[in-house]
Structure 1
């Protein structure tokens, strides 16, 4: 889902996001989604919000009825029809399942290679190719108008909602009202709820058909309400921005979002590379941007020969999603645009690889360290605590492996004269315990 931090995800996509955030890498753009415990499904955007917020859920000072009355006054003052408000809130009560999902913290993370196996499965690639041919006329128009590659749009469509097959079944008004009333980040959820009322006021859909993920992500490309208001478009010309039932509107809306995020039609998202034997793995830092010519001078060689034809002054960062034992990728500006859609590096990598597969390119050529176990959440917290005790400053011990934790891991690895890839492995945790 668009990097509206949590457009509205299904439970699977949020769990997935949390997993990706901790298991994979730190995104160089904004914030959206995380780690997979199950195969990827819908919008990971909401995930980022849930993953980044570890505050305790505040206890409501008002009853839900009192809170709703105050919200009604604010909504009417903001131009929402009183009749519409009453219709949208008819029979709405807090949903305990939403609060439970908002507070869930997966204990174990899936390895990135397992996540990518599900994201870029042969079945998904084959279905995506069929739909790309089926939607060819609409995609021609969208590509021409927004200058965003069709393969990327279809990849997002597949990842976010299984090509429209799983847009969520939660009542969006009820979910957002629950979160705004007693969830974490109540101001954020209240803004999403008011945005939903604006969508209803606009007439794009009606309260009875306004469904989405438990966190409010909506439609075939899983937009959060404020993102919808900013970027959803009526591209099929029926007078409604219908991302629920119109694949044309959904794909064009995703294209509009990526276009606004700086998408460059003439560049790839990135590409796989081979590293020289004496490579300094500490250079695999999202803040270390170099030109392709500079990376080439360091001995990096593209796996795909077409990548060698890119302009040498193009900037890229190096990603080692499984550390120095796994494949390596150079990431270009379009990768950052995908991260703005969903701030999970694993999600963005999946979109890039899925789009490549839809185009007919070969998959990842490097070998994944499939025999390695991923750290559980308590182990990740322990790793952060041990790094702090030893003076490496990883930040808060919250079990989320972010940029600060990776920098601390690199510093420890360098001190131990190990490959400084910043990857939090079981082996590294055991070394810290002995240190």
Structure 2
């Protein structure tokens, strides 16, 4: 899954691209000792991995150009058909057509996942499409090298601890699944397979969904589908509940929710609080239903929707509001166009 760039990463990776040896020997030695003593990891095997690391200079470019960082949802003029924005990048005919093909080829496991976890097929398919184009783009970076670079380099910051945890989980994941850590490739942030799970998510959410006693998120669509559904389910997905609902939003009320709509996507406000300010849903909602305001632009027009629990759950997969919007609208597009077939 995509991890939003931070100032630390920018500074760290700038030095990484220029440094001949980006590793502090004491950090490496401490890490090897930790893995050996706490996790009984083979010391010689780990030293061999560190000795074979090739510093990856492409990381800086990819972090800087992360779409969640650089693009708006759809702030383009209606006449500007060539404008690149987040919506056009992920809610498009290529991904919806690919999604229909993927759905048709994997109906058995999509149906099984929906029955078991309560997650609609179109949501599962949309996530896999956005994450890796249904497996066409799972990443070309050696994951061990990437995570080691992000966690044990010379300019450690608050995200270094996160990537160190992911490096530990990556090595344990490889041991648990008999993967060779020197052969595993993923994204510039260490995300893996068709659903782009980070290593800790792989260990926590990935499941064997076709009962072949192997959990493989690269080659088994059954495991990919089941694991995505399991991820959403364990993060609180509510079966048969809505994701977003339309609002009737008077101009006078827009300033009331401006700050709230930018800071949180978690539904924590009872609907009646908004209704008392003449902010109403076009669908029937109970007065005590918890909602949030999701604010974005469509062709330079400001749009406000009510976000429900399932919208927030999608942001647990990727904490970007843009990402959750893309999943929702791509899923709706795939479902709508598949129904027409």
TM-score scaled by length of structure 1: 0.64
Distance 2:210 2:105 in 1: 15
Residue 78 of structure 2 is matched in structure 1 by: none
**Count of aligned pairs:** 311
Q: Name the SS of the counterpart of 2:189 in structure 1.
A: coil
- What pairs with 1:384-395 in structure 2 (closer than 5 Å)? none
Contact 1:152 1:352 in 2 (8 A): yes
Offset at residue 296 of structure 1 (A): 5.0
- What pairs with 1:30-429 in structure 2 (closer than 5 Å)? 44=2, 46-47=3-4, 50-51=5-6, 53=8, 56-57=11-12, 67-77=27-37, 78-82=39-43, 84-86=45-47, 88-89=49-50, 91-98=52-59, 101-102=62-63, 109-113=70-74, 114-182=85-153, 184=157, 185-284=159-258, 285-286=260-261, 289-292=268-271, 295=274, 298-302=278-282, 308-309=283-284, 311-322=286-297, 325-360=301-336
Distance 1:130 1:55 in 2: 39
TM-score scaled by length of structure 2: 0.80
Alpha carbons of 1:149 and 1:85: their partners in 2 closer, same or farther (altered >3 Å)? Answer: same
Alpha carbons of 1:216 and 1:348: their partners in 2 closer, same or farther (altered >3 Å)? Answer: same
Distance 1:347 1:103 in 2: 17
After superposition, the C-alpha distances for 1:313-367 in whole angstroms (9 at most, x for unaligned) are: 4221222213994222111011111111111111111111112222218xxxxxx
Offset at residue 85 of structure 1 (A): 2.7
After superposition, the C-alpha distances for 1:179-213 in whole angstroms (9 at most, x for unaligned) are: 12215432222211111110111125323541101
5+ residue gaps, structure 2? 75-84
Residue 37 of structure 1 is matched in structure 2 by: none
Distance 1:273 1:109 in 2: 28
Structural RMSD (CA)? 3.1
Q: Name the SS of the counterpart of 1:327 in structure 2.
A: strand
Contact 2:169 2:200 in 1 (8 A): yes
Distance 1:105 1:124 in 2: 19
Distance 1:119 1:55 in 2: 25
After superposition, the C-alpha distances for 1:132-191 in whole angstroms (9 at most, x for unaligned) are: 122110011111222222211111111111111100011000111111221543222221
After superposition, the C-alpha distances for 1:68-120 in whole angstroms (9 at most, x for unaligned) are: 444322212122234543564462233233356557799x9433112112211
Q: Name the SS of the counterpart of 1:353 in structure 2.
A: helix
